[in-house]
Amino acid sequence: MADMTGERLNRRRTISISPWAAVAIAAAALALVPIAAIAATAVADTGGLWGHIIQFVLPQSTWNTLVLLAGAGLIASVVGTGSAWLVSAYDFRGRGLLEWALLLPLAVPTYIMAYAYLDILNPLGPVQGVLRWMLGYSSPRQFRLPDIRSMWGAILVFGFVLYPYVYLTARAMFLTQAANVVEVARTLGVPRSGIFWRVALPLARPAIAVGVSLALMEVLNDVGASQFLGVRTLTATVYTTWIVRTDLAGAAQIAIGMLAIVLAVLVLERWARRRQRFASTAQNSRQMQRMLLTGPTAALAFGLGLLPIVIGFAGPAIYLVVAAVRRIEFAGFSTALLRATVNTVGVSAIATVVILALGFSIAYAARLHAATWSSAAMRVASLGYAVPGTVLAIGILVPVAAVDRTISGWWTSWTGMQGGLLLLGSGAALIYAYASRFLAISVGGIEAGLSRIPPAYDNASRTLGQTSSGTLRKVHLPLSRTALIAAGLLVFVDCMKELPATLLLRPLNFESLATLLYGEAARGTYEDAALAALIIVAIGILPVILLARTSKLSR
């Protein structure tokens, strides 16, 4: 009798939780569809322009991409690690300001950074004008800086925008290194100047590898900055092969090569962490004591910390404000900008709700089912974050277009009227792209929030008579509300800033702030795009404030 009762309870529990498991498995399957579609499209057609691409286009694009990855990764690692050590190991006037301000470049997408510096550093721009005035020259023909539309310009732009990824991970590791590790090193004769090279840096190497890999993923995802700066990367080649040459199969074949580079970056990051060992501060441990700097040394430290902020955020932000004010005084707010803002907020809000719902379903299923399949579903659903937006757009276009053709054929056979593009024309394909791309953020944030709720709370709620849905409504959702809000904010801003997928999958006559900026910058009308760029940067500051606040509360 007891066995039969237990069997009925287990069956009832399985039935109550099966919807979460179904949603988690469906989300994982949908995440695999774009990658499978890319492979199928690449294999289906080996003719067309592929011979021309592989002989004349692909070698140079691959070389440019590898050089850009190496240069941007080097600058991001040096600037990010150095800044993290500066604010973690030394105490000086202004350190508290630098500690959170070093995160500000995260608010500036790479394409906005490139767009701003194209105007700031052009021969008739303010920087070269001031330099000519100081040196006594009156014409750009007499003196001009090297053109920023080059590989070195792209490396600098990417490096100084993406270094916060390394700064975040390295600083977190420096702060968790216990004081006794440093004291032991000093006891063994290591001078304070050698603590960084011989103790802190080796211990932080795995964290630095994680930050660099995230920065390199952003480089691979970019299409706007590299095109503005005249560097033909693989991402730009995929875009031009698809849009300009109308060769979808060729674009898919190049995309397969990009996925191989993404896989190599992930393997490199895993390899760097294969022997991860670090000392963490327990509750009774002491953090490393900061060395007090005064006088000129403190001023130098503050200046070094301020430099990446000026280059990666303050310079472009000031330019955008000036250009936006000039544009408003001349022509006011354009209706195109208002429509783009409404479109951006609307689509990003819908996508955020969808992504949060899917992310919560996956994370909640993993909580209820502590099994191998739930962990695998979380990993598979998070694959899209590692796939560049241009590549993801190709993988989504093929199956979505096939579904649109099928629906259109049914509609025509039933009604006799011509059908349209339901999914592509309504923006559903764009929301699908956002969900595939940023589902990892939602799953990771919500899973972290749910993990802080002890399982005893679930048992206590069920003992008090609550059903599983009542426990979810009265226990899990209220206690994970902060994690949901944080994940939603990050997802919303990322959807709003996303350029490649939006550029390729948007409906006809649909402009977002990112695509409006891209079009105006491509035409050279920089002031017309300044307002769109400023809105993106202003909203992008919100997750930076969240990160800074979270970092402060975690200490």
DSSP, collapsed to helix, strand or coil, labels residue 506 as coil
Residue 178, judged by CB atoms within 10 A of its CB (0-12, 13-18, 19+), counts as: middle
DSSP, collapsed to helix, strand or coil, labels residue 507 as coil
Contacts of 278 (CB under 8 A, 6+ apart): 173, 176, 177, 203, 204, 206
Q: How far apart are the first and last CA of the chain?
A: 54
Residue 333, judged by CB atoms within 10 A of its CB (0-12, 13-18, 19+), counts as: exposed
> What does the pLDDT read at residue 81?
93
Task: Classify residue 241 as left (phi > 0), alpha (psi -120 to 50) or beta.
Answer: alpha
For residue 291 the two structure tokens come to: 């060395």
Task: Please say whether the beta carbons of 150 and 229 come within 8 A.
Answer: yes
Q: Which amino acid is at 251?
A: A
> What does the pLDDT read at residue 80?
93
Long-range contacts of 135-142 (CB under 8 A, 24+ apart): none
The H or E element containing residue 436 is helix 428-451
> What does the pLDDT read at residue 72?
93
CB atoms within 10 A of CB 49: 16
Q: Measured at the alpha carbon of residue 538, what is the angle toward residues 537 and 539, in degrees to the nearest 5?
A: 90
CB atoms within 10 A of CB 314: 15
| Nearest CA-CA partner of 530 in 549, 545, 516 | 516
Q: What is the CATH number of domain 18-41+333-523?
A: 1.10.3720.10
Phi first, then psi, for residue 243 (nearest 5°) are -80, -45
Dihedral angle computed from the Cα positions of residues 253, 258, 262 and 265, in that order, rounded to the nearest 10 degrees:
130
Task: Please say whether the beta carbons of 394 and 38 come within 8 A.
Answer: yes
For 67-179, strand residue ranges (E) read: 90-91
Count of helix runs (H) and strand runs (E) in the chain? 27, 2
* DSSP state at residue 464: T
> What does the pLDDT read at residue 292?
84
291-292 vs 90-91, strand pairing mode: parallel
Domain boundaries, the chain: 18-41+333-523
How many angstroms separate the CA atoms of 389 and 548, rounded?
Answer: 27
Question: Is the dihedral angle over the CA atoms 517, 520, 526, 531 positive or is it negative?
Answer: negative
Helical spans, DSSP H, in 295-427: 295-309, 315-331, 335-368, 372-381, 389-415, 422-426
How many angstroms separate the CA atoms of 271 and 264, rounded?
Answer: 10
> What does the pLDDT read at residue 46?
56
pLDDT in tens, the chain (555 residues): 445 444 444 444 444 445 777 777 888 788 888 888 888 877 776 555 566 667 777 788 889 999 999 999 999 999 999 999 899 888 889 888 898 889 889 888 888 888 888 888 888 778 888 888 888 887 777 777 888 888 999 999 999 999 998 998 888 888 776 566 666 666 766 666 677 777 777 777 888 888 888 888 888 888 888 888 888 888 888 888 777 777 777 788 788 778 787 777 777 766 766 655 544 444 445 566 778 888 889 999 999 999 999 999 988 888 888 888 887 877 677 788 889 889 999 999 999 999 998 888 888 887 777 666 667 777 777 777 778 888 888 888 888 888 888 888 888 888 877 767 778 888 889 999 999 888 888 888 888 778 778 878 777 877 877 776 777 778 878 888 878 888 888 889 889 888 888 988 888 888 898 898 888 877 766 666 788 888 888 888 877 777 676 655 445
How many angstroms separate the CA atoms of 363 and 448, rounded?
Answer: 9
Q: What share of the chain is helix, strand, coil (3-state, %, to 5)?
A: 80, 0, 20
> What does the pLDDT read at residue 183?
64
